[in-house]
Amino acid sequence: MTCLLAEAPVEAPTLPDIQIAPEEDQDAEAALDPPYRVVIHNDDYTPMDFVVKVLTTIFELPRVDAEVVMLTAHFTGQAYVMTLGYEEAKYRVGQAHGLARAAGYPLTFTIEPE
C-alpha cells in the first residue's frame, strides 16, 4: 500500500495581481448615468395629501420637505423634487405616474438634464 501524503505537495495556482481604482469606476458610472432634475407640476385635481404620500414613498422625502415641495408646486405651478441619475429618475417618475393613474389622478412629474 502506498501513502499519498508522502508525495510532493501540490502548490495552488496564484491569482493575477489586479488593482481597481474606485475613483475611475465612479467617474465612468457617472458618465453613463448623468444627473437629471425631477420636477413636479401642479394640477387642480390631485389631492394635496396624495401628492405628499407620493413624494414620501416614491421619492423618499421627509414629510416636511414633501409638504414644502407640494406647496411650492401648488403656488408656483411646478417645484424641484430632487436630482437623480437618468435611469433612477425615469424609474421613480414611472412609479409615481403609475400610482397616480391607478388612483385616477393626473399628477405629473418631468425630468430634465441638470
| Residue count of the chain | 114
Name the nearest CA neighbour of 107 among 38, 39, 41, 37. 41
**Who's near 19: CB < 8 A, 6+ residues apart?**
none
| Confidence band, pLDDT 50/70/90 cuts, at residue 28 | low
Among 3.30.465.10, 3.30.1390.10, 3.40.50.10310, 3.40.50.720, what is the CATH number of 34-107? 3.30.1390.10
| Confidence band, pLDDT 50/70/90 cuts, at residue 6 | low
pTM: 0.73
Extents of the domains making up the chain: 34-107
Cell of 34: 448623468
Helix (H) or strand (E) holding 88: helix 86-103
